[in-house]
Structure 1
C-alpha cells in the first residue's frame, strides 16, 4: 500500500459489528446488528455523533411514494437501508486522496450534504448539483446508508464540511435543515424593503426566519398555532408573530402592510392549508417560495397566481451552496439552539423519536445520539 492510498486512522480498534436502525418498509424499522462499514479508496469512515429526524424521514417511514410521469411509480426508499440524512460525526479513517479532496483529516468533526451527486449530468455541470438527475442521498439508497448507526461512510462524491468541535452534537447536526432554509431564503431574493411572512415555526421555518433576518428586510413575520414556537421565532429573528388559530392572518398582514399584502411568503409548515393562505396574503407580483414536505396533496385556485396577482411561485430543494453560511450561523451562537433542539434520544429510542416528530406538539428538532 503506497503513502497516497494508506488510510489515516484515529482512536481505538473498531468493532466488527454495530447496532443500527434499518428500514425494511413502511412502519417497519428495526434495531439490528450489522457490520461496521469499511471505507473504499477515496471514502471516509465517520463515527456518528448525532442524527436528526425530519419530515422526510417521517414521510418515508409511513411509506410515501414518488411519481415519475403519469404511470411509473418508484419507492421513496430502497430497502433495506439505514435511515438518517442530517448528521454530524468525527472522521475515523480516510485515505490521502479523500483528505486532499475535502481538506479534512482523521479526528476532524464534519458534516456532509445530504445528496451525493453523480457530478456528470447536465445539472451538476451547470452547478445545480442539488438537482442531479441520478444522485444518491444518505439514508434512502442502498449505495448511501444513513446515520442512524454508530458509523457511516462518506462516499467519494460527497460534499464535506468541517464544523466546530465546541458545538453540542445536536446543534452541529442542525446544519442540514438550516442550509435548506437558507436556500429557500435565497430563492426569494429578499430586498431591504420587503415584508416577509414565514409559515410554520418548526426547524425549517425557524431557519427561514433566521435567514430572512440576516438579509435585513423591513419586517419578518412568523406564523404558527403554537405560542411556544412563536416565542422561539421571536428569539430567532421574527419582528412579529401571529397565532393563526386565534387571528385572521390575512387581515393582520394587510393591516401591517397598509392594505397591500406581503412581498414574500416562505412556506415551511407542510400543511396544505398554508398554500392558499400564502397566495391570499401576498401582494400583487409577490414571491411565494415552497419548501415543505407535504403529507397530502395541496390544491389552490391558480387564478390567484395568474390573473389576479401575477405571482412568482418558486420551489426550493435541499441546501445548495448554503452549508458554509449555515455552519457560520450556528457557530456564531446567534440562534437559540437549546430551544430549537428539544430532544436528544439514544438510538434504541428511534420509535419514540419518530412519534415525537409525527405529533409535532412536544418537539421541534429531535435527534438520535448513536
Structure 2
C-alpha cells in the first residue's frame, strides 16, 4: 500500500492507503522520495485546477516529483534510458493519444490506480511519461527544485547577455527565476516584493539577486531607475502569484523596446491596464507557460544551481498539515522560500 494525501476539492483533505499497481506496458512505478509544494497546490486544495480542461476530484496533488524507479520492464527501461533504482525527475506534462494530462493536477483517485500525484509514496508513470536521471550526491528534497526551474528556464528566453532583469515576486518560482536569469547571462537582477516578503527578499540575495525592492516602503519605479542609471529593465518577469497589480508595475519598470513575461497566476482580472503601452513603448509581452525539464536537470547535474539555498523547509508526509500551513503562510512567526514533502 502507498500512503497518499488526497484533496477533496472543497478545502478538505484526508490521508488514504492506496494499493500500488504493477506498471502498464510502456509505463513504470516510481517510489517517490520527495515532492515540492507549489502555490498551484493551494488552488488545487480549493477545488481549482490550472488547466483548460479543469480537474477531477478527489485527487492527489503534487507535481514537483523526485523518486526512484521501482518497477519497469526492460523495453520501457531501454526506451526511457533508465533502470530500476535510478533517481529521476518526472516531467509533469504527459502526452497521451487523448491529449495532455498533468501529474498532480487533473487525475482523480478513482481513475486507474489513482496514484498520479506526488503527495504519495508511489507514482504510477503512464506510457508517454518523460523522466530524467538526477545526481545521487544531493538529498532528494533539494532536487525537487528542478520543476520550478523547468518553468523558469523558459521564462528567461528574452534575457540576453548583460541584461538588467527585474523579477516580481520572491516566492519559490521567483527564486528559481533568479538562477535561470543568471544562467541566461543577466548582469543585474532586481527582485521586488512587499513588506510581508521581507524574509524572502533577504533570501533572494543569498540565491543570487543583486538588489531587492520592498514596494511598500519605497517607490519601485524610482528605485529601479536609480539602480539602472535611468535605463530601467531590459526584461521584467512577473512571477508573483495572486494580485494582478504586478502586471501594471511590470509595464512601468521595463524600458522602451523591452520585454515583459507574464508568469504568475492571478486570482482576479486586471484593472487599469493600458494597451497603448505596448505599441507606444514597443514592449513585447511573453507568456510564462513553458516547461523544459531536461534543461533544468542539466543545470542541476552540472552543479550550476544552489540547491541547498533553494530548499527552504522539508516535512515528512505525516506532518503534511504543518507543511501546508507554512505554504499558505498560516504559521505564526515563520516564513519559507520553499517547502517540500519527504516521502522516504
Query: What's the TM-score once normalised by structure 2's chain length?
Result: 0.89
The answer as to whether partners of 2:156 and 2:177 remain within 8 angstroms in 1 is: yes
Is this contact kept in 1: 2:237–2:263, CA < 8 A? yes
What's 1:3 paired with?
A: none
Deviation at 1:99, TM superposition (A): 0.4
SS at match of 1:20: strand
Distance change in 2, residues 1:51/1:295 (3 Å) = same
* Structure 1 residue 171, shift from structure 2 partner: 1.1
Residue-pair matches, total: 331
Q: Quick one: distance in 2 between partners of 1:181 and 1:348? A: 30
Alpha carbons of structure 1 residues 296 and 348: separation in structure 2 relative to 1, 3 Å: farther
The answer to whether the 8 A contact 2:69-2:84 is kept is yes
Larger Rg: 1
Counterpart pick for 1:47 among 24, 28, 31: 31
User: What is the SS of the residue equivalent to 2:156?
Assistant: helix
* 3-state SS, counterpart of residue 101 of structure 1: helix
Matches within 5 A, 1:214-253: 214-225=183-194, 226-253=197-224
In structure 2, the residue matched to 1:138 is 103
Cα 1:146/1:135, change in 2 over 3 Å = same
Tell me how far 1:334 sits from its aligned partner. 4.4
Give the direction of change, closer, same or farther, for the CA distance of 1:184–1:32 in structure 2 (3 Å limit): same
Matches within 5 A, 1:157-306: 157-186=128-157, 188=158, 190-225=159-194, 226-270=197-241, 271-306=243-278
TM-aligned CA deviation for residue 356 of structure 1 = 1.3
Residue 110, structure 1, aligned to residue 92, structure 2: no
Q: Answer yes or no: is the 8 Å Cα contact 2:278–2:284 preserved in 1.
A: no
SS at match of 2:206: helix
Identify the residue that residue 77 of structure 1 maps to in structure 2: 55
3-state SS of the aligned residue for 2:4? strand
CA distance in 1, matches of 2:193, 2:48: 25
Q: Determine if the alignment matches structure 1 residue 313 to structure 2 residue 285.
A: yes
Q: CA 1:89–1:340 in structure 2 vs 1: closer, same or farther (change >3 Å)?
A: same
> What is the alpha-carbon distance in structure 2 between the residues aligned to residue 304 and residue 104 of structure 1?
51
2:329 maps to 1:351: no
Among candidates 67, 88, 100, match of residue 66 of structure 2: 88
Task: Return closer, same or farther for 1:348/1:342 CA change in 2, 3 Å cut-off.
Answer: same
Gaps of 5+ in 1: 1-16, 69-73, 121-132
- The 3 A distance-change label for structure 1 pair 263 and 299 is same
Counterpart-to-counterpart distance in 2, 1:363 and 1:196: 23
Once the two structures are superposed, what CA deviation does each residue of 1:51-106 show, in whole Å capped at 9, x if it has no partner?
A: 111011111111226696xxxxx6x3211222211111011110012101110000
Residues 67 and 87 in structure 2, CA contact (< 8 A), matched pair in contact too: yes
Deviations 1:258-293 (A, max 9, x none): 334211101111132211111111112210001112
Which consecutive unaligned segments of at least 5 residues does structure 2 have?
A: none
Instruction: State the alpha-carbon separation in 1 of the partners of residues 279 and 146 from structure 2.
Output: 39
Cross-structure match for 2:335: 362
State whether residues 52 and 174 of structure 1, in contact with CA within 8 Å, keep that contact through their aligned partners in structure 2: yes
| Cα distance, 1:336 vs structure 2 | 3.7
- SS of equivalent residue, structure 1 residue 147: coil
Cα 1:58–1:268 change in 2 (3 A) is: same
Asked whether the equivalents of residues 191 and 213 of structure 2 are also in contact (C-alpha less than 8 Å), the reply is yes
Taking the aligned partners of 2:277 and 2:47, their CA distance within structure 1 comes to 32
Aligned residues of 1:52 and 1:84 also touching (Cα < 8 A): yes
SS in 1 for 2:31: strand
1:130 corresponding residue in structure 2: none
Aligned residue number for residue 79 of structure 2: 101
CA change 1:327–1:277 in 2 (3 A) is: same
Shift of 1:39: 0.8
TM-aligned CA deviation for residue 23 of structure 1:
1.9
